[in-house]
Amino acid sequence: MSRPENLNGMEIAVIGMAGRFPRAADVDAFWRNLSQATDCISFFSEQELEAAGVDRKTLEDDNYVKAGGVLEGADLFDASFFGFNAREAEITDPQQRVFLECAWEAMENAGYTGANYKHLVGVYGGVSGNTYIYNLFANPNVMKSVGGFQLSVASEKDFLTPRVAYKLNLKGPAVVVQTACSTSLVAIHMACQGLLAG
């Protein structure tokens, strides 16, 4: 920690944090898993994979790995808490629902919410490509009940941070960052630059 005489007004502190990880519903559980070297990868039987839609040819491929990280509780989104109607919640990319929940949890962890904090709060983030939309395309009833624009707003990466800013009443910048595997780090860098710029 810097001594007061060494401070230059350019310091940034992390005061709240939230996250969801395979076999860890929050940051504390994630750190416990790391410190205990807990394997958080799930392994699946052929029956489970077939039920999930993996075809037989893929399952028989010797290079196919029947394992992956599973984010538990991604289906437990509290739509009414965030002001979503049932259809809006149903068509919104699950990554974006979890991001919104984590944004709320990080603000709460820091002791702030958009409603009680009057200064500018920015949101910087990114998500992977939306594969959930293929489930929606396969459901004719859903496709009939929403228009293409509504589906786009619920699914496209471009709406990730503006949605969070809107739903949490945050008045700072809402910036979607897409830099492949470096998205999270670049988003953090841009957020720091935003703080330093005032």
- Per cent of the chain over pLDDT 90 is 72
| Per-residue pLDDT, 138 | 83
Domain range annotation of the chain: 87-198
| Per-residue pLDDT, 116 | 67
| Per-residue pLDDT, 153 | 87
Spatial contact of 176 and 184, defined as CB atoms under 8 Å apart: no
Higher pLDDT, 17 or 135: 17
| Per-residue pLDDT, 141 | 85
d(CA 65, CA 63): 6
Long-range contacts of residues 185-191, Cβ cutoff 8 Å, at least 24 apart: 187/124, 187/125, 187/126, 188/124, 190/124, 191/122, 191/124
| Per-residue pLDDT, 4 | 67
Q: Is residue 19 over pLDDT 90?
A: yes
> What is the CATH code of the structural domain delimited by 87-198?
3.40.47.10
| Per-residue pLDDT, 118 | 79
Average pLDDT over residues 145-173: 91
| Per-residue pLDDT, 150 | 87
What are the pLDDT digits (tens) for 37-66?
999 999 999 999 999 889 999 999 999 999
| Per-residue pLDDT, 71 | 94
Higher pLDDT, 36 or 117: 36
Q: Is residue 36 over pLDDT 70?
A: yes
Q: What is the largest CA-CA distance in the chain?
A: 67
Q: What is the separation, in whole angstroms, between the first and last Cα of the chain?
A: 23
Confidence of residue 188 (pLDDT cuts 50, 70, 90): very high
| Per-residue pLDDT, 114 | 60
What are the pLDDT digits (tens) for 88-100?
999 999 999 999 9
